[in-house]
Structure 1
C-alpha cells in the first residue's frame, strides 16, 4: 500500500514537471546548451631552421540541450575566447603569446597564426602541440524566472605538426671583389642541409640597399642543377656598388626554389647573406703640362698613381665621352700599376673653335682591370689651361691730320705661346682713306716684335677727334690653320691746317698806280711738296694780267717768294681790298692736294703828288679865262 502511494506521488510530480516544461517551451523562454571548440592545423608542415607561421583553425560545433532553435546562439556561442599554444615536450619554441580571438558563434571557424621557431637540426617526424582554450558561455537561461547560468571553461586540444624529410638550404657569403663606385662579383655558397636531394634549384638574391644592385635591377637569380643532402656549391652574382657608398656589410635577401624527389615544387625563403664591398679603387690623375690652344691640336702630359686597394692591369687613359677635347689618337696605354705605383701619360687632343681661352674642367676616363678578370673604368675631372694665340698691338705714332695724308705707325708683339707664320695686320673702318688696309709682317717668334705702317688721308670734312680703329691680326699656325684676332687701337687725328702759308710783302698800292704784289710761300707740312701752283683772283678796283705762278718744290718749312703784277684804278678810294689765292700742290704720293682759298689784304692809298697837279690845273684855267676876256674886250673895241 505504501509503495503504491509513493509511485503515485512520483508520477504526479513528473507529470507536473512535464506540464511545466511544456508550458515554458511553448512560450520560447527557457534554453540550455554549450559550445564545443575544436582546433585544427590545415597545413601542419614545419620547416627546420626558421620561424614558421603555423595557421590554426578554431571551430565551434555547439550543442543545444533544451529550448527552441531560435534561442540556440544564446547558449552555443563561446565568448571571450583565448588561445595559447604550449611547446612543452617538443624541440620547438612557440613565439606567439596567448591570443584573444573574441566571440565564436556556433558553426564559425576562426584562423589564428602562431609563430613557431623550429631548430635547424630537428629530427623529421610528427610532434604534438597542446592548444589551451579558455572561454565563457551561457549554460541555461530562464527569462521567466530571470535566472541565467554562465560558465567559464578551460579545455586543452592537441594538434599534430610534422617536420618532413625535405631539402633544406643555407646560404654563406664566401668573398666579393666588388668595389665602391664600380662593379664586381659576390660568391655565395649554397648548401643543402636537408635529408633529401633537390633539383632545378633557383637561388634568388635581392638587395636591401639602394646603393647595391645587380646591374640595372635589384634582384638576380642563379640556377643549380642538383644538390644532394649535405652537398654545397658556389654561385656568383654580378653586383654594382654606387660611388660614395660606405664601406660596411650589406645584406642580400635570399630565396631558394627547388623540386623535391616527388616532383613537388618547393620554396624556402627568409634566407640572407651579407657582403662588404672593397673601398673604391683610387687612381690619382695629375696634369703636369698642357699646350692646348683654341682651334688647335695640342698635348696633355700628366701622371697617374694607383692609390689602391688593389693592383691594376692594362691601365689606359683617354678623354671621356662627351669631353670638350677630341682625341687625336687612341687611349694612352700606361700598363700595370701596383699599389702606390705611378706612371706618366701623354694625350694628343684637339680643342674646338668654340672653346673659351680659360682654365677648363675636362673629364679623363681611366680604364683598367683588377685581378686580370674584370674591366673597370673611372672618370676623373682635371683642370687644364686652354690658351689662345695672343698679340699686343700698339700705336707708336700718328701723323693723321684733317685734310692731309699722314701715317699710322705701330708695333705688333707675339705674346705667344707659340711661333706663328704669315702674320698680317689689317686696319678696320675709320674716318680716313688708307692707301692699303693690309700690312704683311711675316713670321714672329714668341716675344718677337715687328713694326707696321699705314698711309692714309683724312677727308677735309672730318672732325679732328681720336678714332677707335680695330686692327685684325691674321696668322697661320704650325698645323697650317689660318686664325685671326682683333685688337682696338686709339688713333689721334690733328686739327686741319693750311699746308701752304702765304704772306704778302708790303701789299700797299697808290690809287691809279701799278706795281708788283710780292708773296712769301712757306711749306707747313712735314714732307716735301712739289708743283705748288698759285692762282690770284682780284676784283675792281684791282687788276692783274698774270694771275698764275708756280713754285717747283718746297721742303718742309721752306719759304720761297713769288710776285704778281697789280694795277689800281685811279679813282679807287683809299681802302683795304681783297686778293684771293687758290693753292694746290703735289704730295709725296703724286696726288694733287688743294689748300683752302687764302685771302690777302691789299692796301690802296692816295697819290701824294695829286694836290700839286690840282693847283696847276687851276692856274691854267685862270690864264685861259684871262685870255678869253682879253680877246672879247679887244673885239668889242
Structure 2
C-alpha cells in the first residue's frame, strides 16, 4: 500500500516528464486527493474589415482579434479558460513599408477570451503620392498568458508568461482617378456678378468618365447664378494627366465684405469598372476684386458714463477710385453705447480727399469707465452706381468716469422735534450741458413730513447754482438723531429730451424740543436698568 508521500513523488515525477516533453517550465505540484494538469495557450489572429484606401485621404483601420485558443491537455473549464485567455492585450499598428501615417498609438484591448474581440479603430493618413498596389502593414500585439495549471483540492499553481508577436495585414491603395486644383481666377466684384474659372488636373492613374465638377459656397454672401449655393459644370471624359477648366458665374452680395471666400469643389465620375465615385472635397479660395480703402484721422471724443458726448474725426479716401454719396456708419457692440443716428452723410470724395464727421454718442450709467473700441465703415457708390462697403475702420475712445449731474446742499440741516422749518435747498449743475425746467421732488419718511415737497428752477447753466425751498416738519416724539431727506430731479437737455436724475440724499438732524416734555429716553433707560438687575438676581437664585 502506497503512502501519501510515495503518491506525491510519483505525481511529481509524471508532471515533470510531461512538462519536459511539452516545453513548460516545471512547477511544484501540491498534494491532493483530486489533482491534475491543464495545458494550453491563446492563438491570436488580427483581422480588419477595411482593406482598400484612396491616396491623399484620412481613414480608419477597423480591427478585431480572433482568439482560437489551443488546449493541449484539458481539465476543469475555469482552468481551460485561464490557459486560452490572452490577458492585458495591447495592439500597436506600424506603417512598415506602406505609404501611410499611423495617427493612433498603442491600443489597450484588455483580456481576450476565445472568440472575436473588437479593437478601437486606428486612424491613418494615406500619402498623396501613394502608388496604387497592395501593402503589408505590421501589427504588434503583446499579452500575458498561462501555459499550464497544476491543481488539487488545495488550490492551483499557474505557469505565467508574456508574449509579443507581430502579424501582418494586407491593404490596397486603389488605382483610380484623383483630382487637384492647379489654378483659379475671378473677375467678380462685391455687388456684381463675374466669371470664376477653375482649372483641375486628373493626377490619378485611371480615366474618369462622365465627370462633373460641383462648386459649393460656404458663405451666403457668395452665390451662383440665381442665388444658388452651388453650381455644377459637366466635364465628360477625363484622362490621367489631363487638365480641364470649368467656368462658373458667381455673384457677391451688395453688403459682402471684401475678403477671401472659401469654395468646395467635388468631382463626381464613373470609374473604369462602371462604379460611381466622388472625389474628396477640394478647397478653393476666391477674393473679389476692386477693394476700396479708407482711413481715419484726427479722431477725438468727449464721452462720460451716464452722459451724452461727441465722437468726431476725418475720413480719408485712400483710393483707388472716386466714391459717390459716401456715408460714414458708426457701430458699437457695447449695449451701453447709444448713437442717435448711426449714419453721417459726406460729399463725393476723390482719391486723397478728406471729409469731417461728428456723432452724438450716449453712454448709459451701466457702462464702465474704460477705453472702448469703435468700428466705423463707409458706405458708398462706385462709378457704375453700385453700392459698396469698406472694411472696418477701428478707433479707440476714452470714456471718463461718471459724474453726478447735480450737487445738492441744504442751508440749515437741523430741525427741532415738534418744530417746522422752510428748508432751503441749493442745487448746482455739475455737468457740461445747460439744463432747463429742473423740477425737484423731495421724499421724507416719519418722523419727518412735508406738505410742500416740490420746487422748480427755470434754467441751470454748467456750474451754475440755484435755490428752492420746501416745507419740513418733525414729529414731537422724534428721537434726536440724523434722518435722510431724498431728492430727485426731472430736467430737459438741450436737444429737448427729458431725463430723471439719480436720487440724492441730504442728512437732517433732529434736535430735542426746547419746550420740555416727557423724558422718554430716561424712562426707557430706567426700565433697562431694572430689567438688568432682575436678571442678575434670577441667575444668582438659580446658582449660575
Give me the TM-score of the superposition, normalised by structure 2.
0.45
Higher RCO (CA < 8 A, seq sep 6+): 2
Bigger Rg over Cα:
1
Give me the TM-score of the superposition, normalised by structure 1.
0.39
